[in-house]
Amino acid sequence: MFERLRDALRAALDAATPPGDLRDLTRQMREAVIEAKVAVMETRDTVARTERDLAQERQRLADAERRGRLASEIQDTETVAVAGRFAAKHRERVGVLEKKLAALRDELALYEREVGDMQAQLARAEQDRPLTEAERSAERAWRDLQAAGGSRAEADLLDRAAREAAADRQLRELKKKMKKE
């Protein structure tokens, strides 16, 4: 399942391509990480479902064994035989579910390690990616702002407030248009 995702990450890290292509590769890597996280969540759901199935099957086994004991106490041989067959069936099913659960847990641990590796590779790829001219310009502007005594946090708050005010204005204008129509 993860081979394709790993291959995309390896290709991105091994590639010696122009910056535009690196941005595309890091985008693909991000998508691969998202797909891997979804696979981890699905596997966790499968583990939980299998744990529930195992608990139910263990209860059924216990019930069959209890019925067999009760039937033997009253010397009901036919019920003892039926309970024995059901207990054997449930015992076998418990064994299969225990193996399945162990395999799923191992698979989940593997997927979680792989997602961690993929995230680390993506972080390295994003960190090592050469900056575009626009990013270099923005970084110079931030350094100039900080040299003048400002901080990114203050600017981010101002930018956010300005964006929210602009969004509010656009929303009001849209509402006015909707009322006119």
- The structural domain count of the chain equals 2
Identify whether residues 123 and 85 lie together within a single domain.
Answer: yes
Whether 7 and 24 share a structural domain: yes
Looking at the predicted structure, is the pLDDT value of residue 133 above 80?
no
Distance, CA of 62 to CA of 141 (rounded, Å): 71
Instruction: Identify the pLDDT of residue 29.
Output: 83
| Confidence grade of residue 147 (pLDDT, cut at 50, 70, 90) | confident
Same domain as 169, residue 115: no
Q: What is the per-residue pLDDT for 164?
A: 78
For the cut 80, the answer to whether the pLDDT of residue 140 exceeds it is no
Task: Examine the domain organization and report whether 50 and 112 are in the same domain.
Answer: yes
For the chain, give the mean pLDDT: 80
Q: What percent of the chain has pLDDT over 70?
A: 72
115 and 143 housed in the same domain: no
Whether residues 15 and 43 fall in one domain: yes
Which residue is associated with the tokens 């040299």?
147
Give me the domain span that covers residue 136: 132-181
Collapsing DSSP to helix, strand or coil, 74 comes out as coil
Query: Averaged over 1-8, what is the pLDDT?
Result: 61
Same domain, 35 and 106: yes
30 and 78, same domain (yes or no): yes
Q: What is the mean pLDDT of residues 136-152?
A: 70
User: What pLDDT does 3 receive?
Assistant: 66
- Where residue 16 falls (left for φ over 0; alpha for ψ -120 to 50; beta otherwise) is beta
SS3 95: helix
pTM to 2 decimals? 0.56
Segment 62-77 shows an average pLDDT of 91
Residue type, 106: D
| pLDDT average, residue stretch 115-124 | 85
45 pLDDT band (50/70/90 cuts)?
A: very high
Cα 177 → chain centroid = 42
Backbone phi, psi, residue 29, to 5°: -65, -40
Residue 33 has pLDDT above 80, yes or no: yes
120, 63: one domain? yes
| CA–CA separation, 167 and 36 (whole Å) | 35
> Same structural domain for residues 27 and 102?
yes
The pLDDT assigned to 15 comes to: 53
User: Where is the domain boundary, 88, 109, 130?
Assistant: 130
126 shares a domain with 69 = yes
